[in-house]
Amino acid sequence: GVPLVPGYHGDDQGDALLRSEADKIGYPVMLKASAGGGGKGMRVVESGEGFQAALDGCRRESKAAFGDDRMLIEKYLVQPRHVEVQVFCDRYGNGVYLFERDCSVQRRHQKVIEEAPAPGMTTELRAAMGDAAVRAAREIGYVGAGTVEFLLDSSPGQDGAFYFMEMNT
Q: DSSP for 21-75, please give it.
A: HHHHH-SSEEEEETT--TTTTEEEE-SGGGHHHHHHHHHHHHHHHHS---EEEEE
CATH 3.30.1490.20 in the chain, residues? 7-75
pLDDT confidence of residue 128: 96
**Do residues 149 and 168 make contact, with C-beta atoms less than 8 angstroms apart?**
yes
Question: CATH for 7-75?
Answer: 3.30.1490.20
C-beta of residue 29 within 8 angstroms of C-beta of residue 76: yes
- The pLDDT, as a whole number, for residue 40 is 86
What is the rounded CA–CA span in Å between residue 74 and residue 21? 10
Which residues lie closer than 8 Å to 169 by C-beta, 6 or more apart?
142, 144, 146, 147
Cα 163 from Cα 169, distance rounded (Å): 18
Partners of 146 in the beta sheet?
A: 87
pTM of the model: 0.80
10-residue mean pLDDT series, the chain (169 residues):
93 97 97 87 95 97 95 94 97 96 89 94 96 96 97 82 93
| Domain 81-168 architecture | 2-Layer Sandwich (3.30)
Listed residue (69, 78, 68) closest to 151, CA to CA = 78
Peptide bond into 80 cis (omega under 30): no
pLDDT of residue 129: 97
According to CATH, where is 3.30.470.20 located in the chain? 81-168
